[in-house]
Structure 1
Amino acid sequence: MLYKIQKFTDSTYFTNAMKVTIAAVIPVIVFTYLGKFGMGFAMAIGAFFTYPSDIPSSLKHKMKGIVFTAFLVASINLIINIVHPYPWIFYPFLTLLIFLLSMISVYGQRGTMVSFSGLVTVSLAFSNISTGWAMIEHAGLILAGGLFYLIVSLVFHYIRPHRYIELQIAECIKLSSKYLKLRGDLWNTNTDKKLIIEKQLHLQVELNTIHQNIREFIISNSTVNGSSNQNRKMLLVFISLVEILELSLSTSFDHEKLHQKFDDQPELLLTYQKLAYNLAASLKKLSKSVKKRKVYVSKYNLLKDLNALQHAITIYEKDLGKIAASEGVLMLTTMLQYAEKQVEKIKIIERAFSLTSNKLDFKGIDKDLEKFLTPQYYPLSTLTQNLSFSSTIFRHSLRLTITLMFGFILGIFLPFQNVYWILLTIIVILRPSYGLTKERSFQRLIGTILGGLIAFGILYIVKENFVISILAIICILLGFSFTQINYRVSATFVTMYVVFVYGILTPNISDLVQYRILDTLVGAALAFLANHFLWPSWEFLNIPNHLEKAIKANQQYLKQIAIFYNEKGSLSTAYRLARKNAFIEVGNLMASFQRMSQEPKSKQKQLPQVYKLAVLNHSLLSSLASMGTYIQSHKTTTASKTFNIVIDTVSKSLEYAISILKENNLDSSENIPQEELAMHFMELKKIQENEMKKGIPNNDEEEDFQLKMQEAQLVIEQLVWLNNLSENIVKTIKILKTS
């Protein structure tokens, strides 16, 4: 229990909640002591408004984002107060303002957060409409609150400058451990392989998100502030984690074939499975040590596990004889080499978090980093290019604008106590995704009712304002802490905070709770209906785009692998970029499927085919990673003519799949030479069989022979697999387009 509490209080979410709570509470306490509670509360509101824009990034970008948001929210509050008395100006202005603020989301995560801050400011501006000097003073206090939040955020940054990236890396290590554990589960004969693959796909989405968070933080820090030793260390760990994931994907073993092959020697596969589980367990323990900031001490002897597997292979070869065991030895050697590479990567991470880390490990690690990060600039053209119904953000902005204006007018003409609660509920709940909007609607409603009942019960018993104030502070801290973890819990604590604050200011608590529940219900209903009827962004409309991007990314990855296999040399930046994009786009395709599965049944069009295409693209990525990692880590022979023919054929098949998606072109003009391919595969296998029949040469040439045989086997298997996968992708897309 204590460990869970410590883990929660050490999390990024709790730290961020601490920042905004301190920035909001201190002004209230100070100004209340001076008899100016209203001024302190206005500064607290400014801190709340500015807080969402404080996303992880370089210090320079963080400061710019917070300062811009502080001035933006203060200006919005002032302008609304100025134009409010003039209905003929106010309503058109409010409509345009809401739309433009919504459209800021086109500028990525920071733009989305600034947009949210601006919209929340619009909704809460109606809670305190002023005139004359009072409105200028109020806007100034909101600005002061935002700038005070910046100071608090900077203090936290300098106290623990590396804590965010440490926690992100720890979480990434933990997720990578889960992925390796799932790979180990595949070796169980009675396991549900489809379920494991589905779990892997969901985990891939999580890994993509956290990889992007780490990539943006580390690379933006390097490009803006220069590379510190700490930054290089984290970058080395991150690269190792990406390579561990690639290695995991690359081990697309035929488990059924292996089980059949070694049915009489089950201890071989059990020895390997133990090693696979210990790889995952080592990462899990490493993740815990990073979170606790303890020097890592290895618990698992991975080298001993490797030696055990090597010994088992030797015994197997000795028992059957070299010729009879040659095929099995090749399979087992491939598994051993994969495990050796994983151990090597894990050891790099272990050294980075131990006292023996060497600065030489970081040499050249930050080369070409800026190419892996989307540049942070905000041209007007990005906004104008999205001003069409083809843009999801444009449709969402229109939807949000109409819903907020309808909610505002409804709140004015009907006897609602606080119209801004309706607006705030709409802003918080209404998301571009139908599934998320539906989920948040229920969570917020349940949280509001539950929070109101709990707070009302506490106020019925507790009458001391000091105790109520302490409870309010605790509730707002927990409310912000749970926003990203559990929205229902967050809504519960935020409602309790609001009730406690009003409990101090006004005696009509029962009316407050009733109106808040009513306003929340109205806002949630409007948000839900708007997302269903106002230009809904059903996910099946986005699936073709995600499919095209995933196939193109895999195609580019295939192209870079072929170039590297033909030309040899060192790994190019283009190769690493293609690999990164393939991982991201396949993950995005799976995320799109997840969103689609949350929508109404009538909108889940061709859901089985979409899932099959997500699995096929993931399998294609796995096969590409298998070939890519092999040619990176082994001395390979000259690429054969057949290799290039198959690669070209697979690339054409993927291009054909894309043309079907884009143009509904079911009749291919490309003559894919399947019969010729079959002949080439037979030729390669005959060459391999002839080499095997010749027997293993003398000891001096034995290692080279083994490598050639291993390469031939792996390349042939992957070429056949790549060709089959590309054909299945084409067939499934045809079914998708015709059904």
Structure 2
Amino acid sequence: MFDHVLKFTNSTSFINALKVTIASVVPVLLFHFLGHFEIGFTIALGAFFTYPSDIPSTLSHKIKGLIVASFIVSGVNLLVNFAYPYPFVFYPFLGFLLFLCSMISVYGQRATLVSFSALISISLSFGHLHKGWEALEYSGYIFAGGILYLIVSLVFHFIQPYKYVELQIAEGIKLTAKYLKLRGDLWSPEANRKAIIEKQLNLQVELNLIHEDLRKVLIGNQNSSINSQNRKMLLVFITLVEIQELALYTSFDHSKINEKFDKHPDVLRTYQNVAYKLASTLKKLSKNVHSISVYVDKNDLKNELDALEFAIFDYEKSLGKEKASEGVLMLTNMLKYAKNQVSKIKIIQRAFSLAMQSYKLKDKDKELEKFLTPQYYPLNTLIENLSFSSSIFRHSLRLTITILIGFILGIFLPFQNVYWILLTIVVIMRPGYGLTKERSYNRIFGTVLGGLIAFGIVSVIQNHVALSIFSIICMLLGISFTQINYKISATFVTMYVVFIYGILVTDIVEVIQFRILDSLAGAILAFFANQFLWPAWEFINTPIHIENAIRANRNYLKEIADFYNKKGEVPTSYRLARKHAFVEIGNLMTSFQRMMQEPKSKQKTLPLVNKLVVLNHSVLSALASLSTYIQSHKTTSASESFNYIIKTILLNLDHSIATLKNQTILTDTFFDKEDLTLQFEEMKRKSFTRLASDDELDKETRQAKMQEAQMVIEQLIWMSNLSEKILKITQDFKAIHPDN
């Protein structure tokens, strides 16, 4: 129990919640002591409005982002107060302001969170309307709260500048360990491979998010920081990405392999033990990121590798060299990849030891910067999204209309606090139907549960000091759980609100009743708006994600083929293509998950999308396998057959993209299936004949060349089959979904 509490309090969610809680509580306590509670509360609101935009970034971007967020949340509050006394101006102006604040989401993650903060500020402004100088003064206090939060955030940063990175690295290592564990599960003959692959894809989505955050912080800090800690963490991050790519190597046709080694299950079980040991080593490492001081090799991994080598030797001995040759090649390749994985894990272990404190990257800072998404905000981006083809435009319009309806209902019907209706709409309404539906349910559940629990506590305890302590704890926990579990978050936030009102008013029952009623009204409005006002059904966006995933894999294959032909150093374009392939597969999986949350009538293509997710993931697995092999081995020259087969795979993927885009495919661009089969046979025959007849090669070199030939041919055959299936299913998909 204590370990779970310690883990929670050491998480990024809790630390972020702690920052905003401190920035909110300190001014309230200070100004309450000075007899100006309202000023302190307003400053606390400013801190609360600003904190969502405090996302992972460089220090410079953090400061600029929080200052801009503070200015926007205070500015919109001031504009609402100035316009409110003039009804004929106010309503159209409010609609325009809501729409504009929603539309700034087109500029990325930070802009989306600033947009959210601005909408919250507009909603809550109706709870404290002011005129003239008071309005300007009130807005100034909100801005001061934002700056106070910035100061608190900077204090946390300078006390532990790498705390966030360490936590994210630890989480990344833990998720990578889970990924390796799942790869090991695939080797069980009775394994449910479909379920395992789905879990892997879910992990891929989580890892993509962590990797993107780490890129922003670590790579973005390269120019401004010479701290060796930053470079060590960057080394660990790069190695983690490589481990994940290596992990995809085990994505073979497991049914075929289990059938081949059916009479020798021990050898596969031994390899599975190696996979599990790799996972458990990483898992232990994730728990000790902060405490590792000296790297100690306990030879655990070496023992597992030795056991696998012995199992291969035993397998060869039992069957005879000639009969076992193909199986030995497979197993030897698996062993080499396991050794490569071990060496990667040791890099991470050493990175946290004293021996690596002076580690420096090899002057590739400028190259690394290419992995970051550029941050700029041209007006054209906003203008281009002002059409119904933009999902953000439709969501902004939907959200604006819903808030205006909620505002009008709140004024003309006997609701106590109209801003609670607006706040509920802003908090739970999302572009997608499924997430809005889920958050509506969680909001209502949390509000009712939190209201009942808080009412029970307030009924027994009327001491203001005790209620203040309870409110601070509930605020801290409510914000901590916002990203982890929204149902729990809504429960604690409701308790916090009730405790505050328990201090300020006497009729707490009426407060709870109206809190529940207002939340219910807001949730219902949001739910129906998302269903009937230009709904953003996921099947509309899915073709784009499918196309992007296929194109990313296609570009990654092209980079691999170019590298195999040219050899030399791995170019940055190669690593960028790899990054995009991983990201787009994650995006496709996320789109599939959103589609699963929507009504059955909107899921006509769901089975085909599921197949395309799995097939594209399998292509990425094959690409990763081929990629890691050619990077870690001295390979032979690419043959004409190799390039012909690569061309046909690329052609299949190009045809798939053209199908999704409703483009005409020229008949003369199709390849001959029989010719492709002949090319595979020719490639295999030439490779093995040449190696067998070359007397100048020693045994070890000949075996290495044969491994390369088998490895490359197997992956090409697999990718060729996968690309054909992708083309066939995209054609079936377009038959059901003719319009993008």
TM-score (normalizing by structure 1): 0.97
Q: Within the alignment, does 1:610 sit opposite 2:609 as a pair?
A: yes
Q: Within the alignment, does 1:601 sit opposite 2:595 as a pair?
A: no
Q: Within the alignment, does 1:639 sit opposite 2:644 as a pair?
A: no
Distance 1:636 1:433 in 2: 48
Contact 2:103 2:396 in 1 (8 A): yes
3-state DSSP class of the match of 2:289? helix
Distance 2:140 2:64 in 1: 19
Q: Deviations over 1:424-471 (max 9, x none)?
A: 000000001111101100001010011111111111111111111111
Q: Which residue of 2 aligns with 1:65?
A: 65
Structure 1 residues 640, 284: CA separation in 2 closer, same or farther (over 3 Å shift)?
Answer: same
Which is further off, 350-359 or 472-481?
A: 350-359
Shift of 1:211: 1.1
Shift of 1:296: 6.1
Which is further off, 379-388 or 226-235?
A: 226-235
Contact 2:642 2:683 in 1 (8 A): no
Shift of 1:664: 5.9
Q: Within the alignment, does 1:704 sit opposite 2:701 as a pair?
A: yes
Distance 1:721 1:320 in 2: 27
Distance 2:432 2:304 in 1: 47
Shift of 1:324: 2.8
Shift of 1:229: 1.1
Which is further off, 11-20 or 685-694?
A: 685-694
Q: Within the alignment, does 1:733 sit opposite 2:727 as a pair?
A: no
Q: Within the alignment, does 1:329 sit opposite 2:328 as a pair?
A: yes
Contact 2:436 2:527 in 1 (8 A): yes
Q: Which residue of 2 aligns with 1:495?
A: 494
Q: Which residue of 1 aligns with 2:135?
A: 135
Contact 2:271 2:308 in 1 (8 A): yes
Structure 1 residues 296, 394: CA separation in 2 closer, same or farther (over 3 Å shift)?
Answer: farther
Q: Which residues in structure 2 correspond to 1:403-414 (within 5 Å)? A: 403-414=402-413
Contact 1:656 1:668 in 2 (8 A): no
Contact 2:450 2:495 in 1 (8 A): yes
Q: Deviations over 1:507-550 (max 9, x none)?
A: 11111111010000000000000111111111100111011111
Which is further off, 298-307 or 447-456?
A: 298-307
Question: Which residue identity is paired with 1:87?
Answer: P
Q: Which residue of 1 aligns with 2:157?
A: 157
Which is further off, 259-268 or 14-23?
A: 259-268
Shift of 1:252: 2.6
Question: Which residue identity is paired with 1:50?
Answer: T
Distance 1:130 1:324 in 2: 88
Q: Deviations over 1:478-517 (max 9, x none)?
A: 1111111111111111111111111111111111111010
Q: Which residue of 2 aligns with 1:357?
A: 356
3-state DSSP class of the match of 2:275? helix
Q: Which residue of 2 aligns with 1:5?
A: 5
Contact 1:289 1:296 in 2 (8 A): no
Q: Deviations over 1:591-630 (max 9, x none)?
A: 1101101101001121111100111111111111111111
3-state DSSP class of the match of 2:553? helix
Contact 1:44 1:145 in 2 (8 A): yes
Q: Which residue of 1 aligns with 2:190?
A: 190
Which is further off, 442-451 or 326-335?
A: 326-335
Q: Within the alignment, does 1:104 sit opposite 2:104 as a pair?
A: yes
Question: Which residue identity is paired with 2:605?
Answer: Q
Q: Which residue of 2 aligns with 1:266?
A: 265
Structure 1 residues 165, 339: CA separation in 2 closer, same or farther (over 3 Å shift)?
Answer: same
Q: Deviations over 1:260-296 (max 9, x none)?
A: 3333332222221111110000000000001567666
Contact 1:28 1:41 in 2 (8 A): yes
Shift of 1:688: 4.7
Contact 1:666 1:734 in 2 (8 A): no
Contact 2:267 2:308 in 1 (8 A): yes
Which is further off, 645-654 or 662-671?
A: 662-671
Question: Which residue identity is paired with 2:528?
Answer: L
Distance 2:42 2:291 in 1: 38
3-state DSSP class of the match of 1:552? helix
Shift of 1:360: 4.4
Q: Which residue of 2 aligns with 1:650?
A: 649
Shift of 1:300: 6.3
Q: Which residue of 2 aligns with 1:278?
A: 277
Shift of 1:189: 1.2
Contact 1:177 1:283 in 2 (8 A): yes
3-state DSSP class of the match of 1:639? coil
Q: Which residue of 1 aligns with 2:716?
A: 719
Contact 1:167 1:291 in 2 (8 A): no
Structure 1 residues 274, 300: CA separation in 2 closer, same or farther (over 3 Å shift)?
Answer: farther
Q: Which residue of 1 aligns with 2:144?
A: 144
Q: Which residues in structure 2 correspond to 1:189-588 (within 5 Å)? A: 189-223=189-223, 225-290=224-289, 301-357=300-356, 359-360=358-359, 362-364=361-363, 366-588=365-587
Shift of 1:227: 4.3
Question: Which residue identity is paired with 2:163?
Answer: R
3-state DSSP class of the match of 2:703? helix
3-state DSSP class of the match of 2:386? coil
Distance 2:438 2:285 in 1: 35
Q: Within the alignment, does 1:48 sit opposite 2:39 as a pair?
A: no
Shift of 1:692: 7.7
Which is further off, 332-341 or 322-331?
A: 322-331
Q: Which residue of 2 aligns with 1:174?
A: 174
Shift of 1:297: 5.2
Contact 1:52 1:117 in 2 (8 A): yes
Contact 2:433 2:598 in 1 (8 A): yes
Runs of 4+ in 1 over 6 A off after TM superposition: none
Shift of 1:319: 4.0
Contact 2:292 2:353 in 1 (8 A): no
Shift of 1:249: 1.1
3-state DSSP class of the match of 2:189? coil
Q: Structure 1: any 5+ residue segments left out of the alignment?
A: none
Structure 1 residues 672, 268: CA separation in 2 closer, same or farther (over 3 Å shift)?
Answer: same
Shift of 1:182: 0.6
Distance 2:292 2:14 in 1: 17
Q: Which residue of 2 aligns with 1:663?
A: 662
Contact 2:229 2:357 in 1 (8 A): no
3-state DSSP class of the match of 1:416? coil
Shift of 1:358: 5.2
Shift of 1:393: 0.7
Which is further off, 99-108 or 136-145?
A: 136-145
3-state DSSP class of the match of 1:40? helix
Structure 1 residues 221, 215: CA separation in 2 closer, same or farther (over 3 Å shift)?
Answer: same
Q: Structure 2: any 5+ residue segments left out of the alignment?
A: none
Distance 2:718 2:262 in 1: 24
Question: Which residue identity is paired with 1:196?
Answer: I
Distance 1:118 1:361 in 2: 42
Distance 1:550 1:600 in 2: 25
Distance 1:122 1:416 in 2: 18
Question: Which residue identity is paired with 2:58?
Answer: S
Contact 2:228 2:360 in 1 (8 A): no
Which is further off, 707-716 or 679-688?
A: 679-688
The alignment of Structure 1 onto Structure 2 pairs a total of residues equal to 736
Distance 1:641 1:142 in 2: 68
Contact 2:57 2:213 in 1 (8 A): no
Give aligned-pair identity as a percent: 61
Structure 1 residues 105, 297: CA separation in 2 closer, same or farther (over 3 Å shift)?
Answer: farther
Which is further off, 442-451 or 188-197?
A: 188-197
Q: Deviations over 1:72-126 (max 9, x none)?
A: 1112111211111001111111110000000111111110111011000000000
Structure 1 residues 640, 597: CA separation in 2 closer, same or farther (over 3 Å shift)?
Answer: same
Distance 2:315 2:495 in 1: 67
Contact 1:664 1:737 in 2 (8 A): no
Which is further off, 268-277 or 251-260?
A: 251-260
TM-score (normalizing by structure 2): 0.97
Distance 1:476 1:566 in 2: 59
Question: Which residue identity is paired with 1:110?
Answer: R
Shift of 1:153: 1.1
